[in-house]
Amino acid sequence: MIELFKILSNEHRIQILTWLKHPHDHFAAEDIEPEVKDYGVCMSVIQRKAGISQSTASAYLSSMVNCGLLKSVREGQWTYYKRNEEKIRELAEYIKGTL
Amino acid sequence: MIELFKILSNEHRIQILTWLKHPHDHFAAEDIEPEVKDYGVCMSVIQRKAGISQSTASAYLSSMVNCGLLKSVREGQWTYYKRNEEKIRELAEYIKGTL
DNA sequence: CTATCATATCTATATTTCCCGAAATATCAA
DNA sequence: TTGATATTTCGGGAAATATAGATATGATAG
């Protein structure tokens, strides 16, 4: 849980999380993998939009996957990221119930 | 909000917050100010229980007041701390709704 | 007034985080 | 194979944070 809060203590990471909540409101349609595949958005697209270096984007996104906030799928040379809604719900429950 | 997550990124501070949720389960009755006064628990008591230095306790608690998680009342030489339930509810709502 | 207790603040140092560029790796296409 | 693109890993400097000890302030008891 502590780890989760650390990850959320950064403007860019929060932003990425909210962008991915409604990808179609924030990314061009061609930058979002088809609903059927449910792949989300790939790193370079997120990186450009966030205005951070690729190494930083990579580190951010993998830390978000590690703590369970995001899920990723590698497809060829691309890695697609999308939210893990369950984890986010869990976090809200924890704050409401336990904290 | 970012600030809030930073504050929550620390084991001791999370612990203090949960202790203060049900003070009677975690502190001696005489260390809790009367319900009527609704003052909560004073710093030195929290500090001893947390096993941190006095200066650290002071910094933790005032940072928690600053970000709205706690409320404090100074009474003579003591400062009593209690939770700001509204802020905590707001946080859960933010995560559930906006994030 | 003096001593003492509770708290706040100041100073200093160790640790962590932020975030980049460069290099390495992976994949695909020609 | 060569080249282009996507991603990951490595190394590190700057900035922020953590946290202790020393000191200051303020209240209270004797």
**pLDDT tens readout for residues A20-40:** 999 999 999 889 987 645 768
- The residues of A between 77 and 96 with beta carbon within 7 Å of nucleic strand C are 77
Which tokens in the block code for residue A74?
């590698």
pTM confidence score: 0.92
- Indicate the domain borders of chain A: 1-98
B1-98 adopts what CATH topology? Arc Repressor Mutant, subunit A (1.10.10)
Kindly list the residues from chain B whose CB atom is less than 8 angstroms away from the CB atom of residue A63.
none
Side-chain-side CA neighbours of B51 within 13 Å: the count stands at 3
In this predicted structure, the answer to whether residue A51 has a pLDDT above a threshold of 80 is yes
Q: How far apart are CA A51 and CA A59, in angstroms?
A: 14
3-state SS assignment for residue A82: strand
Of all helices (H) and strands (E), which one includes residue B41? strand B41-42
Question: To the nearest whole percent, how much of chain A has pLDDT over 70?
Answer: 96
For A6, name the nearest residue in chain B, comparing CA atoms only. Answer: B9
- Say yes or no: Cβ of B53 under 7 A from any atom of strand C: no
Across B63-85, average pLDDT? 94
